[in-house]
Amino acid sequence: MTLTAVREQRNTQQEQADELTTLCKALADGLRLEILRLLRVSSFGVLEICRILDIRQSALSHHLKILATAGLATTRREGNTIFYRRPLLTADDPHYEFKKSAFDAIDKIALGEARIASLNLVQQERSEQSLQFFTRFSDKFREKQGLIAEHSQYMTGLLDLLRELELNAQHRVMEVGPGQGELLAVLAQQFDEVIALDNAIEMLNLAKETVQEQGLDNVHFIHGDTHKALELQVRCDLVLFDMVLHHLPSPHEAFQHAHSLLNDQGKLLIVDLSRHDQDWVRESCGDLWLGFDVDDMNEWAEQAGLQAAQTVYLGLRNGFQIQMCVFQKQ
């Protein structure tokens, strides 16, 4: 080994040692550990974290900066708001095992009751924001959806993917957020039992009208979200979210609930937008999130006990791209 190579190796080792020191210092604080426990649940803006943890913004910013510098937190911009989240851990990170072990240990410590109550309130406010949009614009749903993607633009690809899932008529299917029921009616013609789940009663009634107009009587309608489905102990072989995930207060939670709702070897199908920067959809279409990276969804799936099986991408107008992702319960 040359002298130059020896020096480079020593520099690398020193850099890794310095990074490890920074990691240890970042973890040596109770409040920062609590922030990391919270970020396991979802991504949060600074003001949301302040409310949940009952901390001043200036103090929180200091702690978030330390976590970000240590590589224990990262940011994602959603329009004018910056959300903090945990980073995606990759095997090429020299401190991968250390970070993973730290997160695993942190996650074994539950949030306190007061924190959980504040967290639930923030999630409820997000949910109400989405619900109010669909309640207000239920009569203009197709028009709003058309600003991004009409069903006709990707329905053929979606039906092709459904056929590849090797489901038979006896399998039970649930669509979460069926909109006006176009896909729901197609599913009801292919499967003996279909469940429609929506927390906006106006939208659920529109879907019911579409199904009834086609003389279909094998759809069971449930007013509520996935919490309600879990409460009713619903079990399915396929759970489908068609352009719904970006309206949910906690997309990460949707994967966990899907795992509980699925029978063994059951499948989760997510149809949604790829990550984009078109903030106008928040106001015009009621979106809470500006699409998703497939790596994020794969990680949420893995954490929930689901395995990524297939991803199909479709290009659309206005710069949007739709991704159709299949996950399977093992």
**What local confidence, expressed as pLDDT, does residue 285 receive?**
83
Give which of 320, 322, 310, 234 is closest to 268, Cα–Cα: 310
Count CA atoms within 13 Å of residue 302 on its CB side: 8
**What local confidence, expressed as pLDDT, does residue 282 receive?**
84
- What strands, in cross-sheet order, belong to the sheet with 81-85? 44-45, 81-85, 74-78
**What local confidence, expressed as pLDDT, does residue 142 receive?**
67
Q: What is the pLDDT of residues 130-160, one digit of tens each?
A: 888 777 776 776 676 666 777 778 889 999 9
Structural domains in the chain, sorted by start: 3-111 (1.10.10.10), 141-329 (3.40.50.150)
**What local confidence, expressed as pLDDT, does residue 149 receive?**
75
Contact 207, 176 (CB under 8 A): no
**What local confidence, expressed as pLDDT, does residue 136 receive?**
79
**What local confidence, expressed as pLDDT, does residue 89 receive?**
85
Give which of 230, 240, 246, 305 is closest to 267, Cα–Cα: 240
Give the residue ranges of the chain where pLDDT is below 70: 1-13, 138, 141-142, 144-147, 317
Does the pTM exceed 0.95?
no
Q: How many CB atoms lie within 10 A of CB 208?
A: 17
**What local confidence, expressed as pLDDT, does residue 5 receive?**
54
Contact 296, 232 (CB under 8 A): no
**What local confidence, expressed as pLDDT, does residue 121 receive?**
93
